Amino acid sequence: MTLSLSLSLCGLLAIVRCNDLRRWSQIKLIAILLAGFVPGLSVAAGYVPSQSEVIVLKSIMDDDIDNFLQGRQTYAGNVLNVAVITVTADEIARAYRKGRSIGNRQFSRKYVLLSGVVASRREDESGSLMVMFDAANGFQIHAQLEPIAAARARLLEDGGKVTLGCLLSKAVKGDVHFVNCTFGGDLGKMVWTKLRTYLSDFYAGERAANITIPTLAINIALYAQVLPLDSGCPDDKEKCDAAFAAVRSFDEDPQLLAGVIRRFQDAGLDLRDFEKLHKRELAKVKPLEESVR
């Protein structure tokens, strides 16, 4: 079946708007998912992304990992349904002041991007490095570092700000303990490793592990086609942001999207999930052959 598509980006924008990002980030983060020519990602067969797509991925991936590092909401985590909550030490203290069960319910079974000011550091009885955050209401937040992050954590200075990605362990008498902590940027790299695996499989012709990946892969190909050669991506962040923000709606050129779909189909990619997700939009557009008559 040959498809010609005019995909509305409203659904994708809704995903990133929920992350409270600035407008240029909303636009840029739509074009986030791409496989090929990136460390840790390989495509054995199927669709081979263009160099322009590679440039788009590089700039966006760096931005999103920086969001992890800064303790902001992240697009990759949202798309992959990786439960991440972004809070400060004071916000954790306020939650537990309402009751331990309330705090546990809010922070259990998910990664917590914990941002705060370092009060002190010490080793516990097992030799693991602990970072302590002072918090409101007399609470103290303890973060136990993973061994791989300990050496870097020892360089932290008391009074300095840091964001750590952790899992909740327990809360006892005004102390809240987190474990398996690593730096926020490292958590972002871990999530992106999983994302790149999903993308690699999709571009090799396998059915996508996540229903959003085909849609987003199509959009990354679209943005890669319309960004100017002098976009500045990925090295000039300010210029690159402006280039993404200047992109007009793809609804104005449905055949651009038709061409992307045809390339994907010719490469043997599995678009079943895309067809289900965007059935209504697909029905609005003429087949490619009709549009050129």
Contact 158, 146 (CB under 8 A): no
**Residue ranges of the chain that CATH labels 2.40.50.140:** 84-186
**Cross-strand bridge partners of residue 114:** 87, 164
Residues 6+ apart with CB under 8 A from 283: none
Q: How far is CA 30 from the centre of its chain?
A: 10
Cα–Cα distance between 17 and 15 in angstroms, integer?
A: 6
Supply the pTM of this predicted model. Answer: 0.68
Cα–Cα distance between 228 and 26 in angstroms, integer?
A: 19
CATH topology of domain 84-186: OB fold (Dihydrolipoamide Acetyltransferase, E2P) (2.40.50)
Consecutive 10-residue runs of the chain (293 residues): their mean pLDDT?
32 37 40 37 67 85 84 75 80 91 90 91 88 85 93 92 92 89 90 84 89 81 92 91 89 84 90 77 51 38
Query: Looking at residue 283, what is its pLDDT?
Result: 60
